[in-house]
């Protein structure tokens, strides 16, 4: 694949082809449509023309070699990778099943995921272990916000340190029965089954006469998206902070949704997507465009900030951020200004396009108008917060200054 093609995500290429085919009649010829749209997408006209031809080959409208067999081979290779990954996870998790197949405590499985999520990811591990990804993320959320815990869970959190204390003070030999009796002697009104359950979840047990039963001690770290921005949307360089949000547009065929990913340094829109439904994959497509455009490197400290919408807290979105080396940040609860920059861009989009040029007939009409507005906004619109210059110019000035400083040094 050429460097030019690889610069754009598959979704962007598919969208560009569709825009050419859908709007070919609005121009004098297909080539004129390609010239117009390629300039807005940011690719060479010949590149977009090649994409259109390839799409016609794949759909059977133009003679050529089909890629069906290549796709089948990719699917087989992907399946083999997934099987190897599952085997590796099962090998590492074998200690959890050494009791003859009994289901490990949820807390123990959460600890295993915490310890291995960076290597294998949350969803692949959950596919192997008897735990749902939603259960794991629910545990993380409750760790971060104790107010979300149930009465039983809050009681458990209060009892765990007491159980640990009794266990440590008594030479780490007490089992369930003795720890239960000791707690009752100290005035704790707790059931024996509760002590048993909590000790299993903590991975501790008393001395056993004979072969001991091995368990895994959960990792106590609790990674969870926090508000790393705290309303501070000014950053000294590009690719340090992205903000994301989406809005809705009423059309004659129903509501459509428009998502944006904005680089906070110059307010440049680095990813966008229009969809007929507000599913998680819709905002993920906007993120994919931003990742393909900016190529953030792991460890560079890029932060992605959004509100607490379910789309941005979904498993797929969270895992994609981790894969790209981007740190997630989520606005605080009950704060109407927690994502003010993204909401400002949404407001400009609604005022300058949607309210001014409506009513809208269809998703396709909104999508084409958004394409034109994003191109204008990034390359021509003057923004007061960055010195009344366009976002693209502000970023170009930043990199030019870096080159000047490097030459001077």
Assigned token pair, 110: 């959460």
The domain locations on the chain are 10-64, 69-144, 149-202, 241-404
By three-state DSSP, how is residue 395 classified?
Answer: helix
Across the strands, what pairs with 247?
Answer: 258
Among all chains, which residue has been given the structure tokens 């790393």? 228
pLDDT at 115: 81
Q: Which residues contact 309 (CB under 8 A, 6 or more apart)?
A: 246
* Three-state DSSP state, 31: helix
Show Cβ contacts of residue 2 under 8 Å, excluding neighbours closer than 6 positions: none
Query: What gap in Å lies between CA 307 and CA 289, rounded to an integer?
Result: 20
Q: What is the pLDDT of residue 231?
A: 74
Residue 371, pLDDT score:
95
pLDDT recorded at residue 220:
36
CB 238 within 8 A of CB 303: no
Q: Give the C-alpha separation, 274 to 78, whole Å.
A: 29
CA distance 248 to 337: 19
pLDDT digits (tens, 9 = 90+) for 202-254: 778 876 644 443 322 333 333 446 767 777 788 899 999 999 999 999 999 88
Write the DSSP assignment of 341-375 as a string of letters.
HHHHHHHHHIIIIIHHH--B--HHHHHHHHHHHHH
What CATH number has the domain spanning 10-64? 1.10.10.10
CATH 3.40.50.300 assigned to 241-404: no
DSSP letter string, 59-84: HTSS-S---HHHHHHHHHHHHHHHHH
Is beta strand 254-263 parallel, antiparallel or unpaired with respect to 268-275?
A: antiparallel
Q: What is the pLDDT of residues 312-366, one digit of tens each?
A: 888 888 888 888 889 888 876 555 567 888 888 998 898 888 988 889 999 999 9
Per-residue pLDDT of the chain (409 residues; tens, 9 = 90+): 455 556 788 888 889 888 988 888 888 888 998 898 888 888 899 998 988 888 887 777 777 666 676 677 788 888 888 888 878 887 777 655 555 455 667 777 887 888 888 888 888 888 887 788 888 888 888 777 877 777 888 888 889 899 999 888 886 778 888 899 889 889 999 999 999 988 887 778 876 644 443 322 333 333 446 767 777 788 899 999 999 999 999 999 889 999 999 999 999 999 999 999 888 888 999 999 999 999 888 778 899 988 888 888 888 888 888 888 898 888 765 555 678 888 889 988 988 889 888 899 999 999 999 999 999 999 988 888 898 888 999 999 999 998 888 777 6
On whether the CB atoms of residues 363 and 256 are closer than 8 A, the answer is yes
**DSSP code, position 103:** P
For 134, residues 6+ apart whose C-beta sits below 8 A from its C-beta are 315
The pLDDT of residue 165 is: 92
Q: What pLDDT, on a 0 to 100 scale, did the predictor assign at position 243?
A: 93
Answer for the pair 218, 108: CB distance below 8 angstroms, yes or no.
Answer: yes
pLDDT of residue 382: 85
């Amino acid at each position: 694949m050429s460097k030019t093609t690889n610069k754009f995500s598959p979704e962007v290429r598919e969208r560009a082809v569709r825009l050419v085919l859908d709007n070919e009649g609005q121009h004098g010829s297909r080539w004129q449509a390609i010239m117009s749209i390629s300039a807005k997408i940011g690719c060479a006209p010949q590149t977009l023309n090649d994409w259109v031809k390839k799409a016609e080959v794949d759909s059977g409208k133009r003679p050529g070699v089909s890629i069906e067999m290549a796709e089948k081979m990719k699917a087989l290779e992907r399946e083999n990778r997934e099987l190897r990954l599952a085997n590796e996870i099962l090998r590492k998790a074998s200690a959890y099943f050494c009791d003859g197949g009994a289901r490990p405590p949820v807390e123990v499985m959460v600890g295993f995921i915490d310890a291995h999520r960076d290597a294998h990811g949350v969803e692949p591990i959950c596919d192997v272990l008897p735990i749902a990804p939603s259960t794991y993320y629910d545990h993380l959320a409750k760790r971060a916000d104790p107010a979300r815990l149930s009465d039983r869970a809050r009681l458990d959190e209060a009892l765990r340190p007491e159980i640990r204390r009794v266990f440590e003070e008594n030479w780490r030999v007490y089992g369930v029965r003795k720890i239960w009796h000791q707690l009752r002697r100290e005035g704790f009104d707790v059931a024996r089954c509760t002590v048993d359950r909590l000790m299993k979840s903590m991975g501790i047990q008393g001395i056993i006469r004979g072969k001991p039963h091995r368990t895994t001690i959960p990792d106590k770290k609790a990674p969870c998206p926090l508000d790393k921005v705290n309303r501070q949307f000014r950053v000294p360089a590009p690719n340090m902070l992205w903000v994301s949000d989406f809005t809705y547009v009423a059309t004659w065929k129903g509501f459509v949704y428009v998502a944006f990913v904005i680089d906070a340094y110059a307010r440049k829109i680095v990813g966008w997507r229009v969809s007929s439904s507000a599913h998680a994959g819709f905002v993920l497509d906007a993120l994919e465009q931003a990742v393909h455009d900016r190529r953030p490197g792991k460890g560079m400290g890029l932060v992605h900030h959004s509100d607490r919408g379910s789309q941005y807290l979904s498993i797929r979105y969270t895992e994609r951020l981790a894969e790209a080396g981007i740190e997630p940040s989520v606005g605080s609860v009950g704060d109407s200004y927690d994502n003010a920059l993204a909401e400002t861009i949404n407001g400009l989009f609604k005022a300058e396009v949607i309210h001014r040029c409506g009513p809208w007939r269809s998703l396709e009409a909104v999508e084409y108008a958004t394409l034109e507005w994003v191109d204008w906004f990034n390359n021509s619109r003057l923004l007061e917060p960055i010195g009344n210059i366009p976002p693209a110019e502000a970023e170009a000035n930043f990199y030019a200054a870096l080159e000047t400083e490097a030459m001077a040094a």
